[in-house]
């Protein structure tokens, strides 16, 4: 005759950890803030606070569980993880950029040629802006000359002429600002090209040393 086993007992047996079934009773061990060890047959709030070990009846640690983190500690850990992920992404992006640089230019001459083409493009823009500025300044000078003639003749300067002079001053000021921006862009591009060339040389040297 088969012995009847209650369903509750079956559920509890299934819920026991494998190591508990194999090794006997599992106890909880933790160390408090004073460094004193504690043991318990049940999981306590203090054990979760400090972190605990699962210890079998032979005194062997079968698993360790870290202590619960506070809200501030969780936030700090999340911030640290985000910073580490950002650094890893930046490092991956840098490596991809280095590889693209090496693949795009087979030698230093090719890189210098590409850099010079970029500078030549900016130089053309600067030249065009200077020519436009010269023409706008001449137009402003003509308007000012007309106004001066009227003033010498003791005649009032028409509002339309005064408005044209004001508008032309703004055009000239905008052209000056554009020229200054382009010149700054040219200087920045030249500095960036020098840094890129130096970096390219370092990459090439490292590549050759690995061969």
Pairing of strands 27-31, 52-55: antiparallel
8-state DSSP, 35: S
pLDDT of 147 > 70? The answer is: yes
The tokens for 192 are 């960036």
Span 153-168, pLDDT tens digits: 999 999 999 999 999 9
Which of 49, 48, 47 is CA-nearest to residue 37?
A: 47
Phi first, then psi: give them for residue 193, nearest 5 degrees.
Answer: -65, -40
pLDDT of 89 > 50? The answer is: yes
pLDDT of 22 > 50? The answer is: no
Whole-number percent of the chain with pLDDT over 90: 63
- State if pTM tops 0.75: no
The residue among 160 and 57 whose pLDDT is bigger is 160
The residue among 193 and 31 whose pLDDT is bigger is 193
Which of 125, 121, 168, 124 is CA-nearest to residue 143?
A: 168
Span 168-184, pLDDT tens digits: 999 999 999 999 999 99
Identify the band that residue 47 occupies on the pLDDT scale cut at 50, 70 and 90: confident
């Amino acid at each position: 005759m088969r012995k009847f086993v209650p369903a509750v007992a079956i559920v509890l047996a299934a819920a026991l950890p494998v190591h508990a079934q194999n090794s006997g009773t599992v106890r909880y061990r933790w160390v408090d803030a004073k460094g004193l060890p504690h043991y318990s047959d049940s999981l306590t709030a203090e054990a979760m606070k400090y972190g605990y070990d699962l210890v079998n009846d032979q005194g062997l640690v079968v698993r360790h569980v870290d202590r619960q983190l506070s809200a501030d500690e969780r936030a700090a850990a999340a911030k640290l993880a985000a910073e580490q992920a950002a650094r890893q992404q930046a490092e991956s992006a840098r490596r991809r950029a280095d590889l693209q640089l090496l693949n795009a230019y087979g030698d230093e001459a090719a890189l210098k040629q590409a850099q010079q083409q970029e500078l030549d493009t900016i130089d053309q823009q600067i030249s065009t802006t200077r020519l436009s500025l010269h023409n706008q300044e001449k137009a402003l000078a003509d308007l000012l000359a007309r106004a001066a003639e009227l003033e010498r003749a003791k005649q009032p300067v028409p509002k339309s002429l005064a408005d044209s002079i004001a508008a032309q001053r703004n055009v000239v000021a905008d052209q000056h600002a554009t020229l200054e921006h382009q010149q700054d862009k040219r200087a920045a591009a030249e500095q960036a090209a020098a840094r890129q060339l130096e970096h390219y040389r370092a990459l090439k040297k490292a590549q050759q040393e690995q061969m």
